[in-house]
């Protein structure tokens, strides 16, 4: 009797395992919810970008232009207290976009990261020398944000240039190892459309 009772218990337990296994197999696995065709998936990204981050395009990427097929000319004439300036070095610097312009024109001081961004989004694109009449010209310039800086050596001392002012340029008198020179830096970065020539003169004879 004891053996029969034990056998019945073993058979009962075995049936429970069989029934449980069949139930698990018969229960359908829930399928993942399909995304409707109209849903927009977020683009994959390796590193999340904080909302305040500013993405700047590297300098090797061409500057954005209104029309890449349009090229214009930036030109002008340089005159100092002695007349037309021949041999002045005029440097044209470009800025990637308005965010880069804001960094360049910031007066509150830049952080190390902002300085790196400014170095990335701005660069010198061309340099020319003024002729005997003080004239210079940058041809084939695409639309974008630019600024000019002008440097030339003086025939005499720089004392007369110390307090000299100009509407568009900041004028600095320099004395480098007894050689007198002048550096003029444009106060504001300008937008060049390239639709027609742009004239930027520096006249210190007034």
Q: Which CATH class is domain 72-203?
A: mainly beta
8-state DSSP, 106: -
Give percent of the chain above pLDDT 70: 64
Please give the pLDDT value at position 9. Answer: 53
Phi, psi of 100 (to 5 degrees): -70, -40
- Whether the per-residue pLDDT at 25 is higher than 50: the answer is no
Please give the pLDDT value at position 61. Answer: 39
Alpha carbons 69 and 157: distance in angstroms, whole number: 46
Residues in the chain: 206
If you average pLDDT over every residue of the chain, what do you get?
76
Phi, psi of 17 (to 5 degrees): -65, -40
- Whether the per-residue pLDDT at 173 is higher than 70: the answer is yes
pTM over 0.85? The answer is no
Please give the pLDDT value at position 92. Answer: 97
Question: For residue 162, how far is the Cα from the chain centroid?
Answer: 34
Phi, psi of 116 (to 5 degrees): -65, -40
Please give the pLDDT value at position 47. Answer: 47
Note whether 134 and 78 are within 8 A (CB): yes
Q: What is the pLDDT of residues 60-117, one digit of tens each?
A: 434 444 555 689 999 999 998 888 999 999 999 999 999 999 999 998 888 999 999 9
Better pLDDT: 87 or 4: 87
Confidence bin at 27 (pLDDT 50/70/90): very low
- Whether the per-residue pLDDT at 148 is higher than 60: the answer is yes
């Amino acid at each position: 009797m004891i053996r029969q009772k034990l056998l019945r218990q073993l058979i009962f337990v075995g049936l429970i395992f069989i029934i449980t296994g069949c139930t698990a197999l018969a229960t359908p696995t829930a399928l993942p919810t399909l995304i409707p065709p109209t849903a927009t998936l977020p683009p994959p990204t390796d590193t999340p970008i904080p909302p305040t981050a500013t993405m700047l395009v590297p300098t090797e990427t061409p500057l954005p232009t209104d029309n890449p097929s349009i090229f214009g000319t930036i030109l002008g004439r340089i005159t100092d207290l002695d007349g037309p300036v021949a041999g002045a070095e005029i440097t044209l610097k470009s800025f990637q976009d308005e965010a880069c312009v804001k960094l360049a024109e910031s007066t509150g001081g830049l952080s190390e990261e902002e300085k790196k961004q400014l170095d990335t989004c701005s660069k010198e694109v061309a340099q020319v020398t003024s002729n005997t009449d003080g004239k210079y010209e940058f041809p084939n310039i695409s639309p974008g944000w630019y600024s000019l800086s002008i440097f030339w050596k003086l025939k005499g001392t720089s004392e007369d240039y110390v307090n000299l002012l100009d509407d568009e340029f900041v004028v600095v008198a320099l004395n480098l190892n007894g050689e007198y020179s002048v550096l003029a830096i444009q106060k504001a970065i300008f937008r060049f459309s390239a639709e027609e020539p742009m004239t930027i003169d520096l006249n210190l004879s007034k």
